[in-house]
Chain A
């Protein structure tokens, strides 16, 4: 328990550090800009990949549409978007993230753009157990004004049930308690990505309900 708690503190401080690096630690819960520029449609760009797995970017991307659409937004078709950006001379996520909002709005007509940076993606094999961990930073930007509407750190890890105390002070770390389902997958981190992304659906600090959701209110 003591060890688990120490580990927890390390994770929490890592998270705080991550948030401090992205700018302001209080923005995730301040929905002022979000409500003022409430988007109907969200363009998700392929994530910047700072993890050690070269497949990370697109594996993670495939799990992003679900939570955003189920929160009530129109999500642009990610394969089509990726293909069009590539055809327009932007072959990598790094270059796509540099594209001007004006251009993105002109080509896709999006109200807001979601920029994701994948920090961790993969499994660390240890002597007695392995830990699969996915962490991404996400930032939703208004495509007209360029203001940040929302940002959050999305984290999930599965340590095979070794440590049940997973959790962060900011509520950003979970233990994916679905070992059976997860172990059948070849790309374990892909499954864990789903759990990381579902934090966008968290009523505390996630996205607000969008226009296609029954709970949406202006």
Chain B
């Protein structure tokens, strides 16, 4: 019983470690080009000094160029987040463009994007 259980546990943990390693590995194909997105979100909350909107815009625009070079889509929420940063620095046109890009890439975002677009005015 114990040996059996142990074997099962070992098998499960092995497959988990394996899957963790493959998903963490940069060469594993992902659907999206993630760039620094996770770190940007992290810094928003944990290193406010590192995450003034203007700096984050720059990081995200770099990621966007990288994604285009890789010919891969940016992840869900990317354009919305970038648009929100543009909104924070008062660049309404750039914000609008990003919210529309999010909506075009992911129609599921329409309710939220329309809400944000309405906030920008006409």
Contact = CB atoms under 8 A, between A and B. Distances in A.
Interface of A: 5, 8, 40-41, 55, 58-59, 61-63, 65-67, 69-70, 72-81, 83, 106-109, 111, 165-169, 171, 173-178, 187, 190, 194-195, 198-199, 201-202, 212-213
A190 to B, nearest CB: 6
Contacts of A213: 31
Contacts of A166: 13
Contact of B45 (A58, A76, A108): A58
Which residue, B8, B37, B38, B116, has most C-beta atoms of chain A within 10 A? Answer: B38
Which residue, A76, A79, A176, has most C-beta atoms of chain B within 10 A? Answer: A79
A171 B30 CA distance: 24
B104 interface: no
B104 to A, nearest CB: 13
A62 B45 contact: yes
Contact of B106 (A74, A81, A194): A74
Given A70-B32, A108-B111, A167 B41 contact: no
Contacts of B75: 65-66, 69, 75
A194 B37 CA distance: 13
A83 B84 contact: yes
Contacts of B109: 41, 74, 76, 109
B81 interface: yes
Contacts of A201: 19, 23
A198 B13 contact: no
A62 B42 contact: yes
Given A173-B13, A198-B23, A107 B112 contact: yes
Nearest to A43: B112
Nearest to A77: B77
A61 B40 CA distance: 12
B84 A175 contact: no
B115 interface: yes
7 contacts: A70-B23, A72-B31, A74-B108, A81-B112, A108-B112, A166-B13, A177-B20
B81 A79 contact: yes
B32 A175 contact: no
A11 to B, nearest CB: 10
B32 A69 contact: yes
A190 B112 CA distance: 28
Which residue, B8, B75, B76, B110, has most C-beta atoms of chain A within 10 A? Answer: B76
Given A59-B46, A178-B24, A195-B20, A79 B32 contact: no
